[in-house]
Structure 1
């Protein structure tokens, strides 16, 4: 019986892939600890004012002045949608916007703030 010379290489490759997955999952679990350490050992602070929440969570898609970028323009969104409709979009997502970008209590604050933009 002759052995296939590629089997040891395949086993080493499979082992390497398994090790890579194990280390990547360990790294994901450590990311919060690293963020806290970068913050002086304190947990990352969440914004409490609606303007700060929007700046932290929304401007990357909607632009720094809410003028629209990847996401739509929100400068006059209160004239188009009610507070409840805005909160539903924040909570459930719509189109390219994923759901639950911010926690429910912050979503209510942001929806109230955005509903006044007319």
Structure 2
């Protein structure tokens, strides 16, 4: 009897696992994750891991101030005392600006 219950429980686990959406990530979620990685590798030193500022301005609400395109321009051209960040280009720049616009 106990083996039957254990087998039923194990079978239920497999069925529920197969029904989950862990492998069903959208392109947007993947881009946001990639954008956060670009941020951590290039921006976090000045703006903090949590966007709270670390010598540079706080970016916690950057998405309510600027569009992704404007954020791309700011990163690429610089603003105020922030110099242009020419090492972030192409897809990395798009992913970063998309992720920041959601913050």
Report if TM-score (shorter chain) is over 0.5. Answer: yes
Please say if 1:77 is aligned against 2:44: no
Unaligned runs of 5+ in 2: 1-32
**TM-score (structure 2 length as normaliser):** 0.62
Moved over 3 A (4+): none
**CA radius of gyration, larger in:** 1
| Partner SS for 2:76 | helix
- State how far apart, in whole Å, the 1-side matches of 2:102 and 2:88 are: 19
Conserved? CA contact 1:61–1:68, under 8 Å: yes
CA RMSD of aligned residues (A): 1.5
Q: Give the corresponding residue for 2:30.
A: none
| Partner SS for 1:60 | helix
**TM-score (structure 1 length as normaliser):** 0.55
Displacement after TM superposition at 1:91 (Å): 0.8
Please list, as runs of the form range in 1=range in 2, the aligned pairs for 1:41-52 lying within 5 A after superposition: 49-52=34-37
Conserved? CA contact 1:84–1:111, under 8 Å: yes
Equivalent pairs, count: 70
